[in-house]
Structure formats: structure tokens, C-alpha cells
Structure 1
Amino acid sequence: MNERSAVDAVTIRQAVKAGLNVWVSRLDYPGLVGLRDQLRGHVQLLLGELHALTPRMRGEARELGVHCLSRAHRIIEEADDAGATAVRYRVQDLACTARSMLTLVQGPGPLGVPTGCEEIVEAVGRRICTACAEQIGAGEKFKRVPEAALPGGRRTGLIHTDSCEVLAEQRRQELQPVP
């Protein structure tokens, strides 16, 4: 992982561990919902990181990056079901997704100059703002920015033309460990 990254790997790993043990944990329903929401936030945060890294990845790591991006977007967009069992399944899915994404962010393999960005956008089906990790919707203005202009020291990426650093910082503050 880039030493300048905004990702708190320790906090994410703690949530992932709790999520992978969700079937044997004694979390009550509100605790399960809290863990689900925390893991969803981690996946959203990791989306920005992985969107920035994937164009620089090579070989199998790049293909896995595209797959993880697609899967992460799908799991974020799925509606949440009610009931403890359904939430446990969702928690486990989010934990697996977050673990895969964190692994790629921390060990992306040899990185090169960004290539095939449009191919990745087409495969994933979305443009993501690197600053706030939110989707850049149809008709929204964005720009490609170099390393020096990105928050968190990311290498390259797309960013809303309106500042979204406030939203990104708010998301980082919300992603605190579940007690």
C-alpha cells in the first residue's frame, strides 16, 4: 500500500475479522447492522483506492482488480434484507469483498504507467471519483488529475470538478472500529 494512503488497514482488518466470524459471534441485531454498515463504508473507501491503482496494475492482479471493483459496486448497490440471518450473509459478503480489496491495495504487484483506463471503466461500468469514492454520474463534470492534485497522495484518477474532499474526510471519520 502506498505509504501516503488514507486507508486504515488495521481498522479494516478488525472489521473483516469480525465479519468473517459473524456466524459464531454473539452480536445482536443492532450490532450486526452496525458491522454491516462499517464494512460497507470500508468497501466504499477501498473503491477509490482500487480505482486509482487498477489502471497501473499488470497481468492477473489487474484482472483481479477489475473483478473486485465490479463485485464491490454490485454489493454496495444491493438492497439490504431484514432479519439477523440475512444481515449475517451480507456481513460475510462485505467482509470477503473488503479483504480482497485491501489485499490488492496493499500488494498490487509491479505498477506501471496507467493504461487502459477506458477499458476498466467499460468493464466496471462506472467512473468513480478518487477523492470521495462516489460514482461520477452521467452528466456530472469530472477531470483526470495527476498525483500532486489528488487527496491522500494517490497516483492518478478521476475527480469531481466540484470539491468533494469534505465528503471524503467525513467518510474517513465515520469508519471507526466497532467495539
Structure 2
Amino acid sequence: KAGGVMFFDVNEDVDWRDEELGKYSAVSEMHDTVVNAAGLSGMDKNNYVTVVLNNHILEFSKKLGLGIPFLDNNHRTMIPMRKLLESVGAEITWDNASKTVTAVKTFPATNEYPAGKNVTVKAAIGDSFITVNGMRVNMDTEAVMKDGRTYLPARAVLEAFGYDLSWSDASSTVYVKAK
């Protein structure tokens, strides 16, 4: 029941002290993973999901108090909404009366959208759909509230904001990359 990590040659790793390259250090990523697991129960660790956004592990830990990603009963990755979407540049608002979260991301001007483009995603607790700029997008699981945090399935929301996702079953990791 032991586990561990072995580096063949840590001298080939990027310098973790380098402000730009250090975030890609294998040693730093291993350290962040251990820190994120601190304080989790055995069951929480078995159900923990790592989220890698544009080649960098997002920190979800008990000490931050922003929620912990998990797999729901449908084997869908449920991610705390605020942390994830603020990490991709969206602004979040919460309507307590309707239990609805709204995320808006503004994209810069392009040839296709000279004035820029806004994408608005809305999700209500208990619904098995989100709306993207007013259009309904069905999900195969529902938005939930857990420990005072709103959790949404990663794929539906991130694809709406232009991200590709892939899943590693071996490490319970979601890889998220901007298109």
C-alpha cells in the first residue's frame, strides 16, 4: 500500500526558482499535488480529481476552502465553479433566490468579432442543463451544491468557453487546454 515518485534525473527538470519556467517544474508539480492532498480523508483522496489547466495544476485544497473536485455517481468530474471559471478569466455572480450561478467571459476583438465577444453561461442547482448565451445545453449529470459550493461538470462549462478537455482514468486527471 505504499506509493511514491521517482525521478530518474532531477537535474533535467526546469529550475523551480525561475519565475516563468518554474511553474512547469516536475518537482514543483509533485509538491503542489502533495500540498493539495493535505487534510483529505482516505475516501476523499480516493475520489480526488486533479485538474491541469494549460499545463499547470490548479490548486484545490481544504486550506483554501474553495471546494475539492470529485467524481459524481455518473462518473462525471464535478469542479467547484468559482475557482475553475475565475482561473479561465470568467466573472462569476450568484443568485441565492434562484440558486443560479452566472459566468461571463469577455474575449478580445478578432476579425470575426471586431467588438469582442461575450460568452455567458448560467447553471441552476439541480438542473441537468446549462444555458450558453441563452441556448440550452443538456448535460448527463446535474449541477449540485456541496459544502456550500456550487459544482458543475467540467466538460459542459469549459467547452462553452472554448476549451478542450481530456481525461486520464489512470491518474483521475482532467487536462484542460485552450483551443
TM-score (norm 2): 0.24
User: Which structure shows the bigger proportion of residues in strand conformation?
Assistant: 2
**TM-score, normalised on structure 1?**
0.24
Give the number of the structure whose alpha-carbon radius of gyration is greater: 2
Select the structure with the greater relative contact order (CA < 8 A; seq sep ≥ 6). 1
Q: Which has the higher helix share?
A: 1
